[in-house]
Amino acid sequence: MKGLILSGGRGTRLRPLTYSLPKQLVSVANKPILHYVVENLLQAGIGEIGVIISPETGEQIKKSLMEAGFKGANFTFILQKEPLGLAHAVKVARDFLGEESFVMYLGDNLIGSGINDLVKEFAGKNPDALILLKEVENPRMFGVAEVGENGEILRLIEKPEKPPSNLALVGVYLFSPAIHQAIDRIKPSWRGELEITDAIQELINSGKKVLYHKLERWWLDTGKKDDMLRANRVVLDELQGRKIKGSVENSLLEGRIIVEEGARIKNSRIRGPVIIGRETLVENSFIGPYTSVGDRCKILRSTIEHSVLLGEVEISGVEGLEDSLIGRRAKIIRGAGVKKVFRVMIGDDSIVEI
């Protein structure tokens, strides 16, 4: 079985951050989302991995994956010149996939469990498609499945105005080679895209075996700022114990905390779950729960909680930074006498003076 990761798209809902950084490389708990996806595939024994990339961000995706040093991974990078749908991405990857079954995994999705059980179920029951479903509050935002009384899938609808159920398709799919013939028979949707839901529906209509697995743990589609913060919170919530590799001086650390090598904590208080990246300085500050601080950041005389700071961020004199997503090398500097709570999302290399 092969893996196919979709890492194209323009990430418009996460701008301005994604003007300079692919959404799949935004960090959750100081690790790019895409790296979690690769780890899940490798843990399931899938090392032959095709990666769909776009002209705009492909080189950054390549660089990140090749420099990560994933043991056992053999990457093939496949260019999708235009974002013409998930089924179109499978079509573009046809030569790589050949006649093998494969896992298609959206590179900006996180799930609270690995895919080992899905791969085993697929191998044991030998369907033409095994899809993952999750109950959601806003099914109109997703592809939705209508399931019959006997547990069979009746139909799939992409972003329906009147959803027949609250069962959304999670961004992990397992397919036999039969999916290629189904894709060849469908036409672009009203959005001008080849929809994977239409291709799976074509499998159903032609009598192919389509099964589903209901996801009981969490699923996060990290398309927007609030999604990213929620993903960060959920992943940090699963931290076990504490790991202090950096130096701590005259400071109080409470709860589950990771302080990476070279980080320095001085005259500060940190309340977990929190992760502090390599060579980061936290001085005369408070870092509150559900905060990820990237590598080589500088936090001075500030209070921060429930936020994601990417690499080389500088925060100085800011008391009350919450629910924020801060791009690489950004600076937020606060003037004297300003006492407010701030919630911001700023892109790479931004400077904000308060």
Using one digit for the tens of pLDDT, what is the confidence trace for 231-246? 888 889 888 788 999 9
Q: Could you list the pLDDT tens digit for every one of the 354 residues in the chain?
A: 999 999 876 556 666 666 777 778 888 889 998 999 999 999 999 999 999 998 888 899 999 999 998 999 999 999 999 888 899 999 999 999 999 999 999 988 888 778 888 999 999 999 999 999 988 888 887 888 888 777 778 888 878 888 888 898 888 999 999 999 999 999 988 888 898 989 999 999 999 999 988 888 888 776 677 778 888 888 898 887 889 999 999 999 999 999 999 999 999 999 999 999 999 999 999 999 999 999 999 999 999 999 999 999 999 999 889 999 999 999 998 866 556 777 888 888 888 877
Closest CA to 212 of 140, 148, 120, 129: 129
The hierarchical CATH code for the domain 2-235 is 3.90.550.10
Phi-psi region of 18 (alpha: psi -120 to 50; beta: other; left: phi over 0): alpha
The domain ranges of the chain are 2-235, 241-353
> What pLDDT score was predicted for residue 13?
62
**Strand intervals (E) in 70-166:** 74-79, 102-106, 109-111, 129-135, 143-147, 153-158
Superfamily of domain 241-353: Hexapeptide repeat proteins (2.160.10.10)
In this predicted structure, what is the pLDDT of residue 226?
A: 79
Other C-beta atoms lying within 10 Å of the C-beta of residue 205: 11
3-state secondary structure of 42: helix
Contact of 284 with 268, CB cutoff 8 Å:
yes
Query: Do 2-235 and 241-353 have matching folds?
Result: no
